[in-house]
Amino acid sequence: AQRCTINIELVADNYKDLRGKIAGPPDTPYEGGTFHLEIKVPETYPFSPPKVKFLTRIWHPNISSATGAICLDILKDQAAAMTLRTVLLSLQALLAAAEPDDPQDAVVARQYKENHSLFFKTAQYWTYFHAGGEKKNTDFAEKVRNLKDMGVNEMQALVALSTCDWELVQAIDQLFS
Angle at 10 between CA 61 and CA 52, to 5 degrees: 20
Distances (CA, A) of 163 to 36, 66, 85, 150: 23, 12, 33, 18
d(CA 163, CA 119): 10
User: Is 71 annotated in the active site?
Assistant: yes
Residue 87, SS3 per DSSP: helix
Q: Are 51 and 40 in contact (CB under 8 A)?
A: yes
Residue from 8, 71, 74, 89 carrying the catalytic annotation: 71
d(CA 34, CA 103): 22
Identity of the residue numbered 35: F
- Just list the catalytic residues: 71
